Structure 1
Amino acid sequence: MTSDKLYNRIGQFLEDHRLVPDPAHYAFVHAILTQPNSSLAKAAAELIDGGVRLHQDDIQRLGGPAAGQRPMTREEPVAPSEPPPRDHLVDPAETRTDALAEQTQGHVEALSAMIRTIHADTSAFSANLERSAAEIRRGEPIGLATLAKLTGEMLERIHDSERRLEKATAEADALREKLVEARASARRDPLTGLANRLAFNESIGQCFQAPQSCCLALCDVDRFKRINDQHGHAVGDRVLNAIGQILSEEGHGHLVCRHGGEEFAILMTGVTMAQAHKLIDRAREAVREKRLRVRETGESIGEVTFSAGLTGFRPDDTHETVFARADALLYRAKNEGRNRICRD
């Protein structure tokens, strides 16, 4: 691909997805166009399949080469597009985890090669000793210098292997720590620090085996697009972070996660429906009463609220049925005027 052609393709991609041509976006698009077989490019292709426009949240989840700088999209209103299927959203730590897996595989292969070398050295030394012993049994003259040389060479190889094994052990320990960190990061939303959809999916499965009663609440920020359109996505992110903190404080002891976009999910274990409703309503009031302002200008954002759908787990429920029921209750709360909770 010529430089001019690549430049034009990057520009067209940025225009199609309404992305500002800043260095972060340029680097991201350059990476997926020049390395079409990479995990990043494949994840991006799957996400935009069917004409879906990339949003800044999607780019952050994909974790491109400029993941340290969160890309910004244009702030002018755009025509709504069909949201991508939930299964297509990629966790932001997935790319890093894949890299660590490859690094671990390489470390295992290096260890295997080292062990084969040690085995070969030991076998060679054993063969030389047996040959010397046979010469002694036959009465053939053999000098101490020969035995000392063989022993010295083997000792040097042993010491070298010990140094290499010590280094490999230290690398393995470092890798183990990175993998533990990556596993935790893969289950954490990078914006709010809350649990993410992966953690939610793992935890909701455990609820079906829990002896106590469980409830699920889906909370969605009301008219969040207005906040983004009027104040920008950076302000919208701060609003999400503030709401996430309130939900985390009010839902202490329960799993509070950012399920995606402006939607939060709360899994409550060992509570009755009345207790769960009280918890969510307390959080709803705390959000409504919080007075948020634009940090740079002091401008008031206005009243921020969320709507929620609350349901309890039933004996015949599955992940899909309990989530669909909470989702339907959430939409009912939206249709009935927002800033309210609808429950079973």
Structure 2
Amino acid sequence: MERIGSVTPAGNGLVRAILTFLEDQRLEPTPVNYTFAYRVMSDPAGALAREVARRTDGGFRLSSGEVEMLGNAIEPGTRSFNPADPAPAPVEPAPADSADAERAAETQRQVAGFESMVSAIHNETRDFGRDLAASADALSAVPGTDVVSAIAELARITASMRARVDIAETRLAQATREASALRQELAVAHEDARRDPLTELPNRRAFESASTDRDDGPFHVALCDVDHFKSVNDQYGHPVGDRVLKAIAATLDRECAGHLVARYGGEEFALLIGGVDRATAFDMLERARRAVGARRYRLRETDTVIEGVTMSAGLVTLRPGETIVDGVGRADQLLYAAKRGGRDQMVGETG
């Protein structure tokens, strides 16, 4: 008997929306690209977001040249770009809670600080070269007999240049630290964008983008659905339902260790099983499904026992040239066959 506790799922946020945009457009998470994506996703009604929507309509991706051109041509807060252009559908931002919004703002401040630092170093370098040329001209004008004065002037120029080099090196080190911190922040946000916050499993996006271009096939796709899950939420409340989903996720992950288990959405879970034949994959998933049905949950607050939590599933083997999304579509049909057949069972394809 398992006593289940509470969990507070985190919401999706602006950082996840930005990372999704960068991934969809195949853009590296550089400061320039991140700043561009931040402007697009944080102001969906603005001219930049509308122009991006127009250019990417139909599945097209932005080029790095377009990112640079649009970022320079359209000022933040602008509401129009070209009146002759048809108005595209506005870009919808992902919902954000206050913590995610603050995290996105902090990352944006890091980007702005990094760009400011690089700009300052560039100016220092430019001024350094200008002063060096001016000093060389001044020294060449010193009379040959005034050796002492020339040496003193050379020492003064050298000391001044050394001080400026030290300042530039300090600023460069700080900029490097800022860049490293930003890269780590983006890496964490990227991982968060591909993980379900409740179950801590990979999410639908991560599942559908998983690679099957490997030599450890064949690959099998399964889609699982908790039976009558609405009744659990209706009878015990959504917080309890969330705890049950988390426990089911842990069971599937344990029983199918070494294979990809993801929360596909709601009470649905998806699995990508590779390197075994169809019969072995069927047996593995059937054991996992039975393990889910064998678990009993006792509510910590009231000692009430939740029984009868079962799962139905459909399993297919990917065909040559077929994508994971294709496999999910076929597995979904078998899942509903299992539902129509009485639930608490799995159906695998034959032949």
**TM-score between both structures, scaled by the size of structure 1:** 0.69
**Quick check: 98-107 or 176-185, which moved more?**
98-107
CA distance in 1, matches of 2:143, 2:335: 90
CA distance in 1, matches of 2:168, 2:106: 25
Q: What secondary structure sits across from 2:224 in the alignment?
A: strand
Q: What is the identity, as a one-letter code, of the residue corresponding to 1:119?
A: T
Q: Residue in 2 aligned with 1:301?
A: 306
Partners of 1:197 and 1:258 within 8 A in 2: yes
Cα RMSD (Å) of the superposition? 2.9
Match of 1:62 among 95, 105, 108: 95
1:103-141 CA distances to partner (integer Å, 9 max, x unpaired)? 564355224303312322321231133113311367677
The percentage of counterpart residues that share the same residue type is 41
CA distance in 1, matches of 2:155, 2:320: 77
Match of 1:186 among 185, 193, 207: 193
CA distance in 2, matches of 1:96, 1:207: 37
CA distance in 2, matches of 1:136, 1:241: 81
CA distance in 2, matches of 1:225, 1:276: 29
Q: What is the identity, as a one-letter code, of the residue corresponding to 1:116?
A: H
Q: Residue in 1 aligned with 2:318?
A: 313
Partners of 1:97 and 1:183 within 8 A in 2: no
User: How big is the shift at 1:228?
Assistant: 0.6
Q: Residue in 1 aligned with 2:137?
A: 131
Q: What is the identity, as a one-letter code, of the residue corresponding to 1:284?
A: R
User: How big is the shift at 1:209?
Assistant: 4.8
Q: Residue in 1 aligned with 2:295?
A: 290
Q: Residue in 1 aligned with 2:48?
A: none
The number of residue pairs the alignment matches comes to 264
> Which of the pair has the greater relative contact order for Cα pairs under 8 Å at 6+ separation?
2
For 1:81-230, list aligned pairs within 5 A: 102-103=108-109, 105-136=111-142, 142-203=149-210, 206-210=211-215, 212-230=217-235
Distance 1:98 1:40, change over 3 A: same
Q: What is the identity, as a one-letter code, of the residue corresponding to 1:179?
A: L
Partners of 2:221 and 2:324 within 8 A in 1: no
Specify every segment of 5 or more residues in structure 2 that has no aligned partner in the other structure, as ranges.
1-9, 12-38, 46-93
1:1-48 CA distances to partner (integer Å, 9 max, x unpaired)? xxxxxxxxxxxxxxxxxxxxxxx99xxxxxxxxxxx9847869xxxxx
Match of 1:248 among 247, 253, 256: 253
Specify every segment of 5 or more residues in structure 1 that has no aligned partner in the other structure, as ranges.
1-23, 26-36, 44-60, 68-94
Distance 1:319 1:165, change over 3 A: same
Q: What is the identity, as a one-letter code, of the residue corresponding to 2:199?
A: T
CA distance in 2, matches of 1:343, 1:96: 47
Q: What is the identity, as a one-letter code, of the residue corresponding to 1:333?
A: A
